[in-house]
Amino acid sequence: MAYKLRTRTQKRPYVSCDDDDDDDGYESDSRRRMDPEFTRNVKPRRSNTLITESAEQRRAGRPPRRTRKSTPSAGEASISGSKPGEYVARTIMSWLIDHGIIIENEKIYYVADREGGSDDHKQNKREVLMKGRSRREGVWCECCNEVMTVWDFETHAGSVLQRPYEHIYVARSNSSLLQCQVEVWQSNVEVERRTFNEIVPRDGASDKHDDACLICADGGDLICCEKCWSTSHLKCLGLESIPQGDWICPYSVCRHCNKNDKDLQTCVQCYKKYHFQCILNYKEWDLNTSGETLACDSRCGEVHEKLQSLVGVKHELEGGFCWTLLQRMEPDNLDFRDRHLITECNSKIALAWEVLDECFTTIIDRHTQINVVQSVAYSRGSNLNRINFRGFYTAILEKNDDIISAATIRVHGTDLAEMPFIGTRHLYRKKWMSRMLLVTLESILTVVGVEHLIIPSVQELTEMWERKCGFSPIGDAVSQKIINRSTLTFPSAVRLQKALLSTPAGSPSAVMNADVGSENCAKLAGLDLNQEYTESGDEEAENK
């Protein structure tokens, strides 16, 4: 019996909930309408002024009395010390100030533990090497009256430990900047931003399958996978007719033998399934390697090792710039035992998200109501393959610890990589910052051995990407690879590709113009995923 298509033209409401949430994951329509993340409008920042008035004052018609709010609690961001439209540095110090963990211009000092003594007496054995005050840009040094980065402050103190956040303490709280970062990272705001996106259908839904195609992200008549909640269009799969029997998506079968059973494991790099026995024919097996960190073949394994070796490592560029590859990490990650590196990397992930949020209008997936850019930046997983963003890396461009440009990439083995978002802060636009970051990313991918880079582009910008950046429309070979990969795209978006191994990373074709869009536009144009898109034929019919 032929498999029947399930019509999914009506939008079925989904909600995103946390794994450890006590409620059933549902919320009322009124709550959703009041939720500022439900629309594309950016959530207004919290005011730093409280208005208090008594009942007698209200009856007498007196104006309310204004009082300054005290230091915000952990996780509650503020914009104290900055004016609307004013450029604010995106540094870790600025991040801690915005979340109220430290106060701007308060006393801090660099300390070094003296040799000898037990751990119980380390507090009394710390030697103050340098004093300063906190600034959004870094640290103001008392001895030379200059503002410098926290790393330069450590060098200025005569230390070679290369762990400034661990040894710079806040005088008021007697906590290190490393402890301050951990406090913000563990706050409710940050935990919610990186929580697993478990999508739960409402009561009365016919099934749990996704309402959008895994390949094109649009709705319509979809064929449903029998082993997971993924769906696809027949046209996107390259099929002309409904297949006989059950259809299983590429993410639910072994990538080598195309079979599905309980012995499948997940690749640490491309997240495709594989059998242990199948990969024995592809690589020499290391019995000392943990099964949880194995890749589906030797190529994915090499890509994963090379990318992980770059995570958190700062690379200097000309002009005082530097780039760093980031990925969200947990302290129990066995690949990264350096607590200082993990903490700094996670903090910069949060800052990179703020940069991207500043560059793009809020993009909400109309089927699941998740914030797409935020989920990608934090590499959030999901029970739906289409919005499972595990494996994403974030590349940042910095100057004096200030993040000025950010891009998100995900590498699907050596076949292809995707870069759905790249943005530069307004003060640094028209200065070739995005070009510098894009060339860096292409160099990384070329060294790793990736063949193609793909991007989703709005129709209005395809000419720019093709003319100035060397991209071209998706070819048949790459299109076939996309069918077997879950890549991020949007309804009505145009996918473009660029061959990497055949193009030197520093060539003129690898130039990204940072001046994309209108000069008066504060944010780059984003795609409205709340809008129902129609086929071109339907639009012509409506116009007639």
The rounded distance, in Å, linking the Cα atoms of 85 and 352 is 19
Quick one: pLDDT band at residue 17, thresholds 50, 70, 90? very low
Burial code (b: 16+ CB inside 10 Å, e: under 16) for 183-198 equals bbbebeebeebbbebb
Give counts: helices (H), strands (E), the chain: 16, 23
DSSP 364: B
Q: What is the pLDDT of residues 473-527, one digit of tens each?
A: 999 999 999 998 889 999 889 999 999 975 444 443 333 333 333 332 333 333 3
Q: Where are the domains of the chain?
A: 92-113+123-191, 308-510
Mean pLDDT of 414-442: 93
DSSP H or E stretch at residue 148: strand 146-148
Instruction: Out of 278-282, 290-294, 369-373, pick the least confident.
Output: 290-294
- Over residues 269-295, the mean pLDDT reads 69
Q: Encode pLDDT of 219-235 as tens digits.
A: 999 999 999 999 999 99
Q: What percent of the chain has pLDDT over 90?
A: 53
Query: Is 520 exposed, middle or buried, given 0-12, 13-18 or 19+ CB atoms closer than 10 A?
Result: exposed
Question: Which is nearest to 245 in space by CA: 263, 265, 260?
Answer: 260
Q: What is the pTM of this model?
A: 0.76
143 secondary structure, DSSP code: T
Listed in sequence order, the residues at least 6 apart from 209 whose beta carbon sits closer than 8 Å to its beta carbon are 6, 8, 222, 224, 225, 229, 230, 231
- The mean pLDDT of 168-177, rounded to a whole number, is 95
Pair of tokens at residue 511: 């130039």
- In angstroms, the CA 387 to CA 406 distance is 20
CATH 2.40.110.10: does it fit domain 308-510? no
**One-letter amino acid of 419:** M
Report the amino acid identity of residue 456: P
DSSP one-letter code for 264: -
DSSP category for residue 360 = B
The pairing of strands 416-424 and 452-457 is parallel
Torsion of CA 410, 412, 414, 419, to 10 degrees: -30
Q: What stretches of 115-251 show up as alpha helix (H) in DSSP?
A: 150-156, 164-167, 177-185, 188-194, 234-237
Among the residue ranges 267-276, 326-335, 358-367, 440-449, the one predicted with the least confidence is 326-335
Say if residues 114 and 121 touch (Cβ distance below 8 Å).
Answer: no
